[in-house]
Amino acid sequence: MGRVLIFLFLGVIINHGLAIRITRFVVPAVASFGSLVDLDCAYDLENDHLYDVKWYKDGDEFFRCKSDGQVQGFEVEGIDLYKSRQASLGSCPVTITVVNSKSAGRYLCEISSEAPEFKTTGRWVYMRIEAAAPSKRVQVEENSTYLMASTQASTQINGSSNASKKSLFLLTYSFGVFLITIRRYLRSI
């Protein structure tokens, strides 16, 4: 009688004990302010069918890959979805831009299988945000120039070049970098 129970137990484990598993999980432990970060969660469903793959930051869902390959993004503070690629069977990649210090947090990938079992597995990493390394190259984008400086400051200066054109000069300090933004307006501010 004991042997019969053992065989029955092993049969249940062999038939229903196979679990979905994460085969590759890519989330950096440290990212730089303003950088692009590639996240990926590759999985093996064994004999199950995918229901969906969800990405969370601190418990808030920001990205989902569905079983039909469609992807869906959600607004979460500190997360800017830079590029969401079409999901492929076995992987759910997404690229985000590190927006600010609120981009730091616990990043979780959760994979769920279809009915009737709805198996779920997940893996997470806490990602820290650090200042970007100084670059000798000056980057200009939309009239913004990044300059390195050694003191901390934050100020805003409004000025005008003449009566018809006004300029806004904004100088802010963040993560060891001064950000100077100059915008000219043709109409009154």
Q: How far is the C-alpha of 67 from the C-alpha of 125, rounded, in Å?
A: 24
Tally of CA atoms within 13 A in the half-sphere of 177 that contains its CB: 21
Least reliable range by pLDDT among 11-20, 107-116, 130-139, 174-183: 174-183
Beta strand pairing call for 79-83 and 94-98: antiparallel
Domains and CATH numbers, the chain: 20-130 (2.60.40.10), 140-185 (no CATH)
pLDDT for residue 3: 55
92's CB contacts (< 8 A; 6+ apart) are 40, 41, 42, 43, 53, 55, 63, 65, 71, 109
3-state class (DSSP) for residue 101: helix
3-state class (DSSP) for residue 118: coil
Q: What's the Rg (C-alpha) of the chain?
A: 25
Average pLDDT, the chain: 71
pLDDT for residue 146: 36
pLDDT for residue 135: 40
Q: Which residues pair with 100 in a beta bridge?
A: none
pLDDT in tens, 117-126: 889 999 999 9
3-state class (DSSP) for residue 155: strand
pLDDT for residue 88: 79
Contact 156, 170 (CB under 8 A): yes
Whether residue 16 has pLDDT greater than 80: no
pLDDT in tens, 58-101: 999 999 999 988 899 999 999 999 876 667 789 999 999 988 88
